[in-house]
Amino acid sequence: MIPRPSSVRGTAEGTTLSDGMVVASDEASADVASLLAEELQAATGWRVALGGPGAGSSHGTVRLAVRPDPSGVPDGPSLESYRLRVSASGVEIEAPSPAGVFYGTRTLRELLPAELLRSAPTIGPPGAGARSAVAPVDVPGVEIEDGPRFAWRGIHLDVARHFFQKRFVLRLIDLASLHKLNMLHLHLTDDQGWRFQVDRYPLLTEVGAWRRESPAGHYREGRGDGTPHGGFYTKADLAEIVAYAARRFVTVVPEVDMPGHMLAAIAAYPQLGNTGRQFEVYTSWGISDHVLNLEERTVRFCTDVLDELAEICPGPYIHIGGDECPVTEWEASAAARDLAKSLGLPGPQRLQSWFSRQVAGALSAKGRVTVGWTEILEGGAPPGAVVMVWRGDDAREVAIKAAEAGHDVIMSPETWTYFDLSYSDSPAEPLAIRAGISVADVYGFEPVPAGLPPGLEGHVIGTQCQLWTEYVPTPEHAEYMYFPRVCAFSEVAWSPRDRRWDEFEPRLEAHMARLDALGVNYRPLAGPTPGQARTWSTRMGGPL
């Protein structure tokens, strides 16, 4: 099973699931029960009945229940823990919350044959040799006690550099939640595109969602592909994503990157910029120097946009980016210099900290927690903000400094968790931003930084893997970059701290059968298949 549970004990007698099986549940687990029934029904063609706590004959019945304090659940505050028992009297999953029950059902899906992760039964013609998934399925006797190591088990998708249709986001939620990840961070805006509808500012999507072209090959080659690109989520699309995620206990964390990485918005509304000039949505990768001005109405624009977003995304966290904001325009701007002076700041480079506090203040007035990248700590992060640590070279120092200042941190350093880096430096790898993070590198990542003063561990609320998509133009390629690194990452985020690659590798090999059944375009451990190598564009010359 992946991620590995805290404790698994084989027992003598198992049970058999078959056509006519019953998923019995209490009120609190009823929706998890119906999701499980839908999934099993689709994969097997069986009739799967739902029932109340007393339903079902004992053998072959799956029973789900929320119990405030189920005996045997591992210590710790986690509501996401569960206990799963398979015995002659059926399958029993108990947890202190519906989320825990859900995770128990994810584990159950991994106890069943991989074939049961398919979307329809594989019934071949008589004698053709294909195995019928409709046959009864034996589930081995087992007792599992399990719960997550970290509360924040995140997966990030950059939908700004390349737009991904809603369908792929829903699939990613399925795949992530099967691996017990629970936070979906959507990077919704950047220099290269604005990706969600805002009623008050229609040009954000009319203009900002489309770019004239994208780089061809590696951006260092300086070639354009001459092909327009774009797209955006309507409010209904986002609401659907949020609801689909919620049913799978995934919280959507939306990000609007500000005050840098904002060229798409400035292209739509030049008055947001520092020069008044009309720019086009960025057609290169990398960081644009054109950033937001800091006029009052620009700050209001930001809070207006976040207001509309927060209405659709009810989760506690809103991400305001904050990374890589060049200050060249502020230094050249009399208005920015005057603002810095009137605020008593030593110079325009401190304006970002001031700006983040304005926006975070508006969010906390609405009861939302602000999240920002490493840079929001510079000059002091807004009170209560969560710091997402991304830079590799100073990840430890930043995490410790943030925790010492009382901030919660999420460890997402590029060195281990940036899945836009290639898997290896082999020339067979498809074009990527640079080399390379292997599956074993991901598996070896330890989120709690060495040297964190005792007592501050609690500030490391979790970890997250990132997929930036400058070099990831399609869902197929995104799957390739995520999988199987996401599988390794899920153990970093969920499983106990003692991990050994040689213990993990055979489990991962076995897990590939599940990814096959799910139709995931994962990268085999031995390297890309001929069809996966160089999947798009031409490869740049020279080494990564």
Which residues are marked as active site? 190, 261, 324
* Distance set, CA 395 to CA 254, 319, 442, 459 (Å): 23, 19, 16, 14
83 vs 218, which CB is nearer to ligand TNX? Answer: 218
CB of 443 to ligand TNX, least distance (A): 20
360 vs 433, which CB is nearer to ligand TNX? Answer: 433
Q: Any bridge partners for residue 255, and if so which? A: 187, 319
Integer Cα distance of 255 and 157 in angstroms: 10
DSSP conformation class of 284:
S
274 vs 466, which CB is nearer to ligand TNX? Answer: 466
CB of 433 to ligand TNX, least distance (A): 5
CB of 469 to ligand TNX, least distance (A): 8
27 vs 425, which CB is nearer to ligand TNX? Answer: 425
Cβ burial of 227 (10 Å; 0-12, 13-18, 19+) is: exposed
By the criterion CB under 6 A, which residues form the site for ligand TNX? 323-324, 373, 390, 418, 420, 433, 468, 470
| Closest to 259 (Cα-Cα) out of 337, 327, 347 | 327
Cβ burial of 186 (10 Å; 0-12, 13-18, 19+) is: buried
* Distance set, CA 21 to CA 62, 122, 144, 167, 424 (Å): 8, 19, 22, 31, 46
CB of 283 to ligand TNX, least distance (A): 15
Residue 150, token pair as written in the block = 């970290």
Integer Cα distance of 486 and 481 in angstroms: 9
Integer Cα distance of 450 and 452 in angstroms: 6
CB of 465 to ligand TNX, least distance (A): 12
Give me the residue label for tokens 């969600």.
196
418 vs 504, which CB is nearer to ligand TNX? Answer: 418
Strands 15-17 and 137-139, bridge-based pairing: antiparallel
Q: Which helix (DSSP H) or strand (DSSP E) does residue 89 occupy?
A: none
CB of 473 to ligand TNX, least distance (A): 14
Give me the residue label for tokens 């031409």.
538
388 vs 517, which CB is nearer to ligand TNX? Answer: 388
Give me the residue label for tokens 């499980």.
36
CA angle 348, 254, 234 (to 5 degrees): 115
Longest dimension (CA), the chain: 83
CB of 394 to ligand TNX, least distance (A): 13
Q: Any bridge partners for residue 386, and if so which? A: 371
82 vs 285, which CB is nearer to ligand TNX? Answer: 285
CB of 158 to ligand TNX, least distance (A): 6
Asked if 23 and 36 count as a contact pair (C-beta separation under 8 A), the reply is yes
How many other CB atoms are found less than 10 A from the CB of residue 341? Answer: 12
152 vs 418, which CB is nearer to ligand TNX? Answer: 418
